[in-house]
Amino acid sequence: MKSCTVALVAFLLVICLSCFGKAANQKGIGASFIFGDSLVDAGNNNYLPTLSKANISPNGIDFKASGGKPTGRYTNGRTIGDIVGEELGTANYAVPFLDPNSTGKAMLSGVNYASGGGGIMNATGRIFVNRLGMDIQIDYFNITRKQFDDLLGRSEARDYIMKQSIFSITIGANDFLNNYLLPVLSIGARISESPDGFVNDMIEHLRGQLTRLYRLDARKFVIGNVGPIGCIPYQKTINQLTEDECVDLPNKLAVRYNARLKDLLTELNDNLPGATFVLANVYDLVLELITNYKQHGFTTASKACCGNGGQFAGIIPCGPTSSMCSDRNKHVFWDPYHPSEAANLIIAKQLINGDTTVISPMNLKQLRDH
Ligand SMILES: *[C@@H]1O[C@H](CO)[C@@H](O)[C@H](O)[C@H]1NC(C)=O
Ligand SMILES: *[C@@H]1O[C@H](CO)[C@@H](O)[C@H](O)[C@H]1NC(C)=O
Ligand SMILES: *[C@@H]1O[C@H](CO)[C@@H](O)[C@H](O)[C@H]1NC(C)=O
């Protein structure tokens, strides 16, 4: 009898310890709300009549959760958003807003609003006919925000959004690639605006967008700067560069925008009480992978694994008829535009644990516990 009681007490103790462990975890992060473009789209464009789609093989070939079937992610496996969610302890991947399943409890791990072709500016990505720009992504979050009130009750919903949710924003590359740099008069903005004028417009819009999210109770933000878009296989191919070269103008535009973004986030950290805006230095992280690709275990940083055309397979996007490399872990780029899962893993781990040269003023582990 006595030993039975002891066993029972020990048993309950174990259960309780594991239940406290869980509660502590859940306190860390509940939801990951993801905004942005094709770098983090997890399937929204599947539901849009658009020319920018990734729900065709072999995209997703290494994505375990779908058994290797395409999901709408523009890479062979997980996006940076997926990996960050996993590492910070959300129960599931953030569900795409346009997915019919994005209702009820499925939203508690977060919702993904990102859309291939989307940008800060409304006109960005018009060449794809359809995509969700940032303004619309935030309109959609406004809908989610009300659903959370119904799901959790107003006070708990507010707490959950403010304290247990991280808002990540990966946007801006398309404003250059699929707007400002487009040579077609009626689509691009370059004819009528100077580089500084255009970057200024982007920053003004982004300030408004981030402030809107703050008004909807977002408090923990991470915003990625624009990567070295002059080094992607597409740009290198159409400009007929050699392996070690990158196109100058796109990189210069990214650097200009990134400097202004840094100032904007400092300003918002000063002006919006209770909010933390973290800058993810994607530009330097990706440039490091491209420059020192061999040290990071890759055999090429110029040639797309999946794609066709020119010396870097950089013209025709990845699809069923594309040629595909034999070792997907050895390519920094999966397709003419997007990093491979292997590259995404290295970048994500840096954002989670890295120092202030890559993520500042704090990394994502610290933001979670902040
Ligand atoms: C929706 O959820 C159900 C049940 O979990 C699953 O079988 C189905 O594949 C999901 N649909 C989509 C589009 O993800
Ligand atoms: C962008 O488009 C949306 C929806 O079409 C519209 O509501 C919004 O006012 C537009 N924003 C700007 C700055 O034009
Ligand atoms: C959210 O939507 C409501 C209308 O349903 C609107 O009144 C409000 O201004 C919106 N909030 C933001 C921050 O966009």
Determine the pLDDT at residue 186: 53
**pLDDT one-digit tens code per residue, 316-344:** 999 999 999 999 999 999 999 999 999 99
Q: What is the DSSP letter of 316?
A: B
Question: Ligand 3 centre and the CA of 331: distance in Å?
Answer: 44
146 lines ligand 3 (CB under 6 A): no
Give me the residue spans of the domains in the chain. 28-369
Find out whether the beta carbon of 122 lies less than 6 Å from any atom of ligand 2: yes
Give the per-residue pLDDT at 189. Answer: 63
Question: Closest ligand 3 atom to the C-alpha of 145?
Answer: 1
Fill in the amino acid letter for 210.
Answer: L
The pLDDT value recorded for residue 191 is 67
Q: What is the pTM of this model?
A: 0.91
Domain 28-369 grouped into CATH 3.40.50.1110: yes
Separation CA 96–CA 102 (nearest Å): 7
CA quadruple 190, 250, 49, 47: dihedral sign: negative
Q: How far is the CA of 136 from the centre of ligand 2 (A)?
A: 8
Instruction: Give the CA dihedral 15, 16, 20, 26, nearest 10 degrees.
Output: 50
Higher pLDDT, 239 or 9: 239
What count of other Cβ atoms lies within 10 Å of the Cβ of residue 305? 28
**Centre of ligand 2 from the C-alpha of residue 121, in Å:** 9
Residue 102 tokens read as 């994005």
Distance 142 CA to ligand 3 centre (A): 6
Residue 192: what pLDDT? Answer: 75
Any atom of ligand 2 within 6 Å of the Cβ of 123: no
Query: Does the CB atom of residue 216 touch ligand 3 within 6 A?
Result: yes
pLDDT tens digits, one per residue of 249-270: 999 999 999 999 999 999 999 9
66 is catalytic: no
What is the structure's pLDDT at 29? 83
Q: Is residue 6 pLDDT above 70, yes or no?
A: no
The pocket around ligand 1, CB under 6 angstroms, is made up of 99, 101
Span 70-122, pLDDT tens digits = 999 999 999 999 999 999 999 999 999 999 999 999 999 999 999 999 999 99
Test site for ligand 3: of 142, 143, 149, 213, most ligand atoms within 8 A of the Cβ: 142
pLDDT band at 187 (very low <50, low <70, confident <90, very high): low
pLDDT band at 185 (very low <50, low <70, confident <90, very high): low
Determine if ligand 3 sits within 6 Å of the CB of residue 215. yes
Lowest mean pLDDT among 18-22, 63-67, 120-124, 247-251: 18-22
| Ligand 1 nearest-atom number relative to CA 99 | 13
User: Catalytic: 338?
Assistant: yes
Residues 6+ apart with CB under 8 A from 168: 32, 33, 34, 35, 36, 40, 81, 84, 221, 222, 223, 224
Tokens in use for 93? 């991947």
- What is the full DSSP assignment across 327-358? -GGGBSBSSSSSB-HHHHHHHHHHHHH--TTT
